[in-house]
Chains A and B, each alone.
Chain A
Amino acid sequence: MLRVLVGREIKLVFRRKSEILNPLFFFLIVTSLFPFGISPEPSVLGLLAPGVIWVCALLALLLSVDALYREDFDDGSLVQMVMSGVSPASIVFAKAITNWLVTGLPLILLSPLLGVMLNLDNDAFGAMVVSLLLGTPSMCLIAAIGMSLTIGLRRGGILLSLLVLPLYIPILIFGAMAVNAATVGQEFVGQLALLGAGLAFTASLAPWAAGAALRVSLSE
C-alpha cells in the first residue's frame, strides 16, 4: 500500500520538476548570499556555517511541502484515496517520505558543497551530514501535521509556518549545536542522540496525528 502511494507521489513530483528544483535553488542561493552580505573572511564564515546551513535547509524544506498536498486536495484526489479505504495516516506518511526523498535527501547531498563554500571546519562535515540525516525526516513529518491541519484554508501558508516553526526550533538547535561542537573538536554524540530520539518520536506519532487532522480538513 505504502509503495503504491509513494510511487505515485514520486511520479507526480518528477512531472513537475520546478517544484523539486525550487527549494534546492533556494537553499543554494540563500546560503551563497551570506558571504556577500556578512563577510568573505574565512574565519567568520566558518563560525557561521553550521547555523546558516541548518537554517537554510529548514526553510527550503518548509518551502517544498505545500505543493505535495495542495493539488491533491484541490482536485479531490485526497478524498478519493480516503474513500478507497486507505487510512489517512498512510497517505500523509507516504507524502512525508516523498517529501524527504525529493527535497530532504538532495539538500543533504548538497550540504557538503556549501560547507566547503562557507569554510566549514574539516572535522565538522560528518556531523553536519549525520545531523541533517536525522533532523530533516523529523521536519518532513512535522510539516505533514501542519499541512494536514491547514490544507482546507485558502491562505494557510502563514499559519503553517506559525504552527510548524516552534516545533522545528529544537531540531534546529540540536542540529546546529552538533555541527558547532564538531568544529571546535568537542563530543557531539549527545546532540545526535537527541535528534535521533526526536525522529523516533515524530515517526511513530506524527502520521497518526496528521492522519486525524487530514480527516478533519477533508470534512469541511
Chain B
Amino acid sequence: MYQDFSIESEQLALIRGERLLFKQCSFSMKNGQVLQIRGPNGAGKTSLLRVLCGIMEPDQGDVLWCGKSLRKMRESFGANVLYLGHQIGVKRNMTVRENLLFYSNLRQAKPLTTIEEAIQAVGLTGYEDELAAHLSQGQTRRVSLARLLTEPSALWILDEPFVALDVEGQGWLAHLFEQHLAKRGSVIFTSHQSIDLNVKVNTLEVSGGSHA
C-alpha cells in the first residue's frame, strides 16, 4: 500500500525554439489511476513527461505535487516517483545485477522484491552477471523495467514502456500495471498503442506542433 499523493498540472505550456509544444495542459491524478498520454510523433509527449518530473521547467503553469509546487517538494517527489525515460540509464559497462543494485542503493528504500527475484520476473535469469552491453535492446529495456520491482514507488512515469518488448513482455507489463494499481499505485505513460487493462485508462491528448 502506497502513501496518498496527488499530482496536478495547471495550464502547462512549453515552448521549444519557435514551436509551441503544448499549452493549457491540465490534469490531476491521485492514487490508483492510470493516465495514458497520446499524440503524434513530435507532439511533445516526452517533453511533457520531463516537465511532470521536474527535469524541465514549463514556460507557463506549474506542476503541483501533493498541492505544493514541485520545485519545493523534490525530496518527497523523488522518493515516491520512478521515471523511466527515453534514455533508460542502464550502464553498458555494468552487469544487470550491478545496474539494479546501484539504483536501489541510491534510493535507500526497502525493496519489496530482491534483485534476484526482479531479474527472474523480467525474464533475464542467467543474465545476472552479463554486461548490459551484451544484451539486446528488448533485454536492456527489461533491465530498466526490473527497477519497477526493486524500487517501490507510488507513481510510475514511463516513456514508451512497451517499445522494444515482445508480445509476452507487453502482456507481463500490463499485468504489472494492474498489480501496481491494486496496491493504490498510479501510472502515467506514453504509448501509441491501446493497452488492454481491466481498469479505466484516462487519456490525455497532446496535439502540439503549432508555431508560437
User: Is B1 close to A, CB under 8 A?
Assistant: no
Would A77 and B78 count as touching, CB distance under 8 A? no
Residues of B close to A76: CB separation below 8 A: 85-89
Q: How far is the CA of A4 from the CA of B103 in the complex (A)?
A: 9
Give A15 Cβ to nearest chain B Cβ, in Å: 4
Q: Mark A1-28, 1 if CB is under 8 A from B, else 0.
A: 1001100100110011000000000000
Does B98 count as interface, using CB distance less than 8 angstroms? Answer: yes
B124 within 8 A of A: no
CA A75 – CA B133 in complex, angstroms? 12
Asked if B29 is at the interface of the complex by the 8 Å CB criterion, the answer is no
Complex formed: what's the CA distance from A142 to B31 in Å?
A: 44
Contact, CB under 8 Å: A83 / B93: no
When distances are taken between beta carbons in the complex, the residues of chain B under 8 Å from A219 are 50, 55-57
Closest residue of chain B to A80 (Cβ to Cβ) is B89
- Once A82-B55, A85-B107 are accepted as A-B contacts, the answer to whether A8 and B93 lie under 8 Å apart by CB is no
Which B residues are CB-close (under 8 A) to A12?
Answer: 91, 93-94
Q: Are A83 and B87 in contact (CB under 8 A)?
A: no
- The verdict on A79 contacting B57 (CB below 8 Å), with A4-B106, A85-B107 known, is no
Question: Does A74 sit within 8 A of B, measured CB to CB?
Answer: yes
Q: Which residues of B contact A (CB under 8 A)?
A: 50, 53, 55-57, 74-75, 78-79, 81-83, 85-94, 98, 102-103, 105-108, 151
A82 neighbours in B (Cβ, 8 Å): 55
| Chain B residues whose CB sits within 8 angstroms of the CB of A84 once the complex forms | 78, 103, 106-107, 151
User: Are A79 and B55 closer than 8 Å at their CB atoms?
Assistant: yes
Q: Can you list 6 A-B pairs, Cβ within 8 angstroms, ordered by A?
A: A4-B102, A8-B94, A15-B93, A85-B107, A219-B55, A219-B57
Q: Which residues of B contact A81 (CB under 8 A)?
A: 89, 106
Interface residues of chain A: helix, strand, loop or mixed (majority): helix
Inter-chain CA distance A11–B98, complex, in Å, is 10
Question: Bound state CA distance, A70 and B87, in angstroms?
Answer: 14
CA distance A12 to B102 in the complex (A): 12
Residues of chain B within 8 A (CB-CB) of A29 are none
B107 contacts A79, CB within 8 Å? no
Alpha-carbon gap, A201 to B98, bound state (A): 35
What's the minimum C-beta distance from A72 to chain B, rounded to whole angstroms? Answer: 8
B132 CB, min distance to chain A CBs, angstroms: 10
**Given A12-B91, A12-B93, A75-B91, 14 other A-B residues pairs in contact with their CB atoms under 8 A:** A4-B105, A11-B94, A12-B94, A15-B93, A76-B85, A76-B86, A79-B87, A80-B83, A80-B103, A83-B83, A84-B106, A85-B75, A85-B78, A85-B106
**How many whole Å from A151's CB to the nearest CB in chain B?**
14
B107: chain A residues within 8 A (beta carbon): 84-85
Residues of A within 8 A of B57 (CB): 219
